Structure 1
Amino acid sequence: MEQLVKFIQKTNQLASILEAGLPNEGREDYIQSIHDLLGEREQILKSLPDLSNKLDENVKQQLVNLEKNIYGIMLEQQNMIKKDLQVLQLKKKKNNEYAEPYENVSIDGMFLDKKK
C-alpha cells in the first residue's frame, strides 16, 4: 500500500504541473520535469503488486479520471508544441527567402509576357 500512496502522490504532482500550463520560457526544464515524473511513476508502477481486487471502486475511479485528465492535457500541450515548431519553421523559411530572394529562380531562361 505504501507504493500505491507514492504512485498517487506522483500522479497528483504530475497533474498539478501539467495544469499549471506550458510556459513560454523554460520549456526544456518543464518537459524534463514531466519526463522525470513519468519515469518515477513508471518505476513505482512496475513495483506495485496486482491491487485490482484490493482497491475500492472510489480509488480506482479517481485514478482513472486523473489519468484521463493527464493524458488530455499532455496531448493538448503536444499539439501546442507542434504548432509552435511549424510556425518557427515557416518563419525560418520566410526569413531565408527574404534574405536570398533569387535563390530558387529557374535556370531555364523562360520568360512569360503578360501582354496578349
Structure 2
Amino acid sequence: MSLVKQLYEVANQFYQYLLIQPQKEQRNAYIEQINQFLDRREELISKLPKVLDDEEKILGGKIIQLNHSIDELLKKRYDEIEADLKQIRQQKMVQKKYAQTVVSVSFDGMFFDKRK
C-alpha cells in the first residue's frame, strides 16, 4: 500500500474516531488516542514523496478535505474540554468562597438579653 493510501486510511479512521462523543470519565484515554492518531499522521506526512501520480493527487485532495473536517472536530472537542474546565474552576471558586464565609463568622457583635 502506498504512503498516500496509508495516510488516507489513517485520516479516515481519525475522522471516524472524532465523530464519537467521549464520556467525561474516559476523556484521558480519548485524548491519548487522538495524540496517537496525530503522531501517526505526522509520521506518514513526513515520509510522503515530493512527486505524486494522478491517482495519488486525487487521494491527496480527499485527504485535505478530511483534514479540514478533522480540524473542525478537534476544535469542537477542545472547546468542550475548555468549557468543562471553566465550569470546574467556577465550582471550586464558589466552594472556596462558601468555605471562607462559613469560617469567617464573627462573634464580636453578640450579646445576651437578660429577661426576668
TM-score (norm 2): 0.78
Counterpart for residue 70 of structure 2: 70
The Cα offsets for residues 53-95 of structure 1, whole Å up to 9 and x where unpaired, read as 5244542331121011000000011111111101000000001
Equivalent residue runs for 1:28-107 within 5 Å: 28-51=28-51, 53-56=52-55, 58-101=58-101
**Which blocks of at least 5 consecutive residues in structure 2 are unaligned?**
105-116
- Mean Cα deviation higher: 56-65 or 35-44: 56-65
Distance verdict in 2 for CA 1:49–1:36, change over 3 Å? same
Instruction: Please give the root-mean-square deviation of Cα atoms over the aligned residues, in Å.
Output: 2.0
Q: Tell me if the contact between 2:4 and 2:59 (Cα under 8 Å) persists in the aligned partners.
A: no
Cα distance change, pair 103–68 in 1 and its aligned pair in 2 (3 A): farther
More helix by share: 2
Q: 1:48 to 1:6 in 2, by over 3 A?
A: same
Q: For residues 63 and 44 of structure 1, what CA distance do their matches in structure 2 show? A: 12
Q: Which digits, 9 at most, give the CA deviation of each residue in 1:26-58, with x for residues without a partner?
A: 10000000001110111111111124x524454
Which sections of structure 1, spanning at least 5 residues, go unmatched? 105-116
- The number of residues matched between the two structures is 103
SS of the equivalent of 1:25 reads helix
The 4+ residue runs of structure 1 with deviation greater than 4 A are: none
One-letter amino acid of the structure 2 residue matched with residue 101 of structure 1 = T
SS at match of 1:20: coil
Q: Which has the higher contact order (CA 8 A, sep 6+)?
A: 2
Provide the TM-score with structure 1 as the length reference: 0.78
